[in-house]
Chain A
Amino acid sequence: MRDVSIIGIGQTPVGEQWDTGLRHLAYHALRDAMIDAGVERVDALYVGNMLSGEISAQAHLGALIADFAGMRGIEAIKVEAACASGAAAVRQGLIGVASGMQDVVAVVGVEKMTDNIGSKVTAGLAEAADADYETVHGISFVGLNALVMRRYMYEYGLKHEDFAAFSVNAHANGANNPNAMFRSPITEKTFLNAGMVADPISLFDASPMCDGAAAVILCPTDLAKQFTGNSVRIAASTIATDSVAIHDRKNPIWLQAAEDSARQAYKLSGYTPADIDFFELHDAFTIMSALSLEACGFAEPGQGTRLAKDGEITLSGKIPISTMGGLKSRGHPVGATGVYQIVESVLQLRGDAGENQIPNARVGMAQNIGGSGATIVTHILERNN
């Protein structure tokens, strides 16, 4: 098995990209990543995307994007794992390189959510849930997370304001990210005054619908030096699953798949939570931030919000999260998010995170969640120099 590194990254701004269609977004991200890597051709393309069929009546993205990105003819497939499609696609690219079957691989995550009406996109997102036993009852994806948040608040005696620090931190960091969708800091008051979407989840607990594409170029670590002096090594890449339906989980307020994939990632990389300099977690909803911190060993069960309230999740805290705005402020173009998390991790490790730079960032973790926790992909990344 070969060691794998990232030699190039690319991303489009996240937002409502009325002028740019799905295949063009993907092309822009791929082009930038290939220029960054200094490569002119790749052996294979993996596309991470969740909703193109539902929203744009377009499946078959591997071949489509390969062609429109100027790579007609190469091996190309789409990878889907709901909102974890992006990181799952990175993992498939890594497996291709690690196996020795592919040398230079491109991975692009792309999502175009603004081309259709809200209720259609909401229905599409709900496909991450169990169609026969959750979605049929009209529970939206936000609603499912609300069920988890309410029970969590009930069991640990928490109030809605205990989650404010997650959003405040995300927006503070997003303000310095030129690619972020939302670039204004918010106060706790903004958070508390937001309208309910599915109680107790309000507008500021939830990440936005948006468009975007991000890409990475992978190659064996031994070859990386030929391309760049700035490569980042993938020290671990793991996926774990859990039941799709929340009601089937052993503990509905615990992310078992996050614990499993993180534990395996720590084992493979040799790192522990104490070694992680920053954590690009999946803050689709504030409750997911709290649960991710707990399942990955950064906080005791029920103490995730405590970490946030104590300021430990900020850039200067013990475990900075959402360092470039996270899903909440940078945005959550669902199938692309996992690749954005990894692109932002690479920026941190290269020292290119600008005002959001974590000093001496050496080891970072990115975790992408599909559905309400049924597929969780964890990557641990480290500097090669």
Chain B
Amino acid sequence: MTIEIARHWRLKSQRYGLVGEECPVCGGKIFPPRDVCPHCAEEAGPAYQFSGKGEVYSHTTIFNAPEGFEDQVPYTVALVKLEEGPMITAQLTDVDTDDVKIGMPVEMVTRKLSQQGDEGLIVYGYKFRPQLATAA
């Protein structure tokens, strides 16, 4: 068991709120925040709030989990293409494995990612669920 409080604390605005960056030079949307813009190699810019909307680019269901995730098996992880452009990796939630399809519209929610035993750190972050239909 490892408790990396400082490391997870540093990343909380990304993890809880999907806050990335917008490059002041090329306008590219960046997630997660970086020191250098991956599009134009200039220094990265001000904070940018992503909408949380995206679609499933690929997905898989994990049966053999790494340490710390064994009690969640089976769970589905996906590559999600955010509507602003960047792609991220995240678990899917509130959905049956069999219903997951490439192209499915999803939206970000904040969920518990992992917990290290009864006395360890609880890590929260983003997961994605199917976009809920809204009432007209």
Contacts and interface: CB of A to CB of B under 8 A. Distances in A.
A119 B58 contact: no
A123 B67 CA distance: 6
Contact of A199 (B11, B61, B69, B88): B61
A71 B89 CA distance: 45
Contacts, number: 101
B68 interface: yes
Interface in A113-145: 118-120, 122-123, 126, 132-140, 142-143
A201 B90 CA distance: 19
B78 interface: yes
A140 B125 CA distance: 17
Contacts of B67: 119-120, 122-123
Given A118-B64, A198-B61, A247-B79, A137 B113 contact: yes
Interface string B64-76: 1111111010010
B64 A122 contact: yes
B29 to A, nearest CB: 13
Interface residues of A, number: 35
A358 B86 CA distance: 46
A263 B95 CA distance: 44
A214 to B, nearest CB: 27
A119 B63 contact: no
A132, A143, A252 interface centre (most CB from chain B within 10 Å): A143
A147 B77 contact: yes
Given A123-B66, A136-B123, A199-B61, A147 B87 contact: no
B62 interface: yes
A81 interface: no
B55 to A, nearest CB: 13
A106 interface: no
A197 B63 CA distance: 6
Contacts of A198: 60-64
A147 B100 CA distance: 13
Interface string A96-126: 0000000000000000000000111011001
Interface in A57-112: none
Given A119-B70, A138-B69, A147-B58, A197 B102 contact: no
A150 B66 contact: no
Interface of A: 118-120, 122-123, 126, 132-140, 142-143, 146-148, 150-151, 154, 196-201, 243, 245-248, 252
Interface of B: 7, 11, 32, 38, 57-70, 72, 75, 77-79, 86-91, 102, 113-114, 123, 125
Ranked 6 nearest A-B pairs via Cβ: A146-B60, A138-B69, A151-B58, A247-B87, A123-B67, A123-B66
11 contacts: A119-B66, A136-B123, A138-B114, A142-B64, A148-B58, A151-B79, A198-B63, A198-B64, A247-B86, A248-B87, A252-B79
